[in-house]
Chain A
């Protein structure tokens, strides 16, 4: 469950985000649509506990994120949130397996290479486990980023422009994978995008 009430956010006094009331049920998928600069990334940052809202109340996966202290937000993010970023951001000096392992480590979950490998297998990239992240193609890296987002079985998955750099075929595959993995985790999925190709796949949406 994800609930936003009376949310306002401003940078240097300039308002960039305003949502009066918005909620997404646990396990549902929702789209956040809007042009560049409309506050989509800011909203995801607030949902992930990376930013503190100027005003309002945000509850994500039973946690009042807007009321957590810095350490609490870090812990919440590590345990309850999976994030997929537009530019993927894998740690290039590490192997694919280690990129997933570090997410588990930061969530203070036990090292479990078998679970990591199962997650990679589920996304059809088991063969990439030992490869260095720097050697992956964009499509492969996209799948690894999604695998990292779901490896801790988060309560909510936040994806920021996950298809912006992809062609139509890869865009469809990435979306299908995200929806499939979110459903497998029973996680709430929020995708922020300005990409109209994505719109048809979601029944719930909010436009900023």
Chain B
């Protein structure tokens, strides 16, 4: 009968209380794990989606909305900009590449993005099947779209107006899938790419609208030199009817806005953890009083003081360990469940099947708090005078 098994026997002797302590700690841990998984995966995804793009030029309005709609593809665009004005920015010597985007339609929740060949270069895309679009009404679908909607090369589909699945269908303008992209792990996996001309064709402006009057939604810009970051956005914002927004800056702003809510949840989880630590402290202190005679008996049987310290510490750390492991499992399961629900709604993808390095820090923190919680009762057990059982009975 080892110290650990004796500690387990004591815990098993009061199953309800043991379960309550473990559940309380598990809830705090799970909340923090979900927050870690969401914030770190969201930040990484945001950075990954925005990394290729230095600047987004679009219609005036909210710069955050412009980034959300044109880079992360989760919001509606701010409006349209003249294609001619966008092209003039593309020919600026400070610009290495300029990729036009024309948004507004979708197919069963997947956004249809009118663009050109530079989009493939911008995101470093490769084809898993077929070829890139060349002619009007040809489309290349992202890996996730192909898998979810069963779209393979040769398949036809029609777009519907707007970004919701309930928009009016452009039934007279079917697209034909000519290529399927290899998975990228970015927002591109959820998109359908086609030529700008196809989008104009669907909306009836191709051929009917003068070339100088054509519009696009946004322009994704890559700088030729760091100097451009200081000059180009200011010039566009000051001297044109368009706005320029930096994905890096707006992304950081988004995370700080979301961070307020995250911080509140962190405080809530921290309170849960503190309650759990307090409950374990109370449990151990009470156990110490209830088991004064058992502990003294162990000393009369020859147990050194360190063994009593180990017994109380083992009991406390078993609660802490069980709570932390259950909390990790609950947190990951919850993140996976929410991630699948979000994936179904096409807005975001989070997985609970991944491990974030910050979780190791969380576990170390829990272990440290647990050890501190166990320390006082364990030291009290260590200092117990074994003669008391004999003299006070």
**Taking the complex as formed, is B13 at the interface, i.e. its CB lies under 8 A from any CB of chain A?**
yes
Interface centre among A98, A105, A160 (most CB of B within 10 A): A105
Q: Which listed residue (B1, B6, B297, B302) contacts A78, Cβ 8 A?
A: B302
Q: Which listed residue (B1, B386, B387) contacts A101, Cβ 8 A?
A: B1
| Known contacts A91-B297, A93-B9, A98-B1, A79 near B391 by CB under 8 Å | no
Give chain A's interface residue range (CB within 8 Å of chain B): 20 to 34
| Known contacts A75-B302, A91-B297, A42 near B391 by CB under 8 Å | yes
Chain B contacts for A86, CB-based, 8 A: 393
Chain A contacts for B387, CB-based, 8 A: 45, 50-51
Are B389 and A89 in contact, CB atoms less than 8 angstroms apart? yes
**Taking the complex as formed, is A179 at the interface, i.e. its CB lies under 8 A from any CB of chain B?**
no
Classify the interface of chain B: helix, strand, loop or mixed.
helix
Once the chains are docked, how many angstroms separate the CA of A149 from the CA of B297? Answer: 12
B386 CB to closest chain A CB (Å) equals 5
Are B389 and A85 in contact, CB atoms less than 8 angstroms apart? yes
Once the chains are docked, how many angstroms separate the CA of A50 from the CA of B64? Answer: 74
**Taking the complex as formed, is A106 at the interface, i.e. its CB lies under 8 A from any CB of chain B?**
yes
Once the chains are docked, how many angstroms separate the CA of A44 from the CA of B10? Answer: 29
A32 CB to closest chain B CB (Å) equals 13
B9's nearest neighbour on chain A, judged by CB, is A93
Are A71 and B10 in contact, CB atoms less than 8 angstroms apart? no
**Taking the complex as formed, is A166 at the interface, i.e. its CB lies under 8 A from any CB of chain B?**
no
B304's nearest neighbour on chain A, judged by CB, is A74
Q: Which listed residue (A51, A75, A94) contacts B9, Cβ 8 A?
A: A94
Give chain B's interface residue range (CB within 8 Å of chain A): 20 to 34
Interface centre among B1, B294, B298, B389 (most CB of A within 10 A): B1
Are A48 and B393 in contact, CB atoms less than 8 angstroms apart? no
**Taking the complex as formed, is B12 at the interface, i.e. its CB lies under 8 A from any CB of chain A?**
yes
Are B390 and A160 in contact, CB atoms less than 8 angstroms apart? yes
| Known contacts A93-B10, A98-B9, A106-B303, A85 near B294 by CB under 8 Å | no
B11 CB to closest chain A CB (Å) equals 9
Chain A contacts for B298, CB-based, 8 A: 102, 106
Once the chains are docked, how many angstroms separate the CA of A70 from the CA of B6? Answer: 24
Q: Which of A10-30 contact B (CB under 8 A)?
A: none
**Taking the complex as formed, is B301 at the interface, i.e. its CB lies under 8 A from any CB of chain A?**
yes
Chain A contacts for B6, CB-based, 8 A: 91, 94, 102
Once the chains are docked, how many angstroms separate the CA of A77 from the CA of B303? Answer: 9
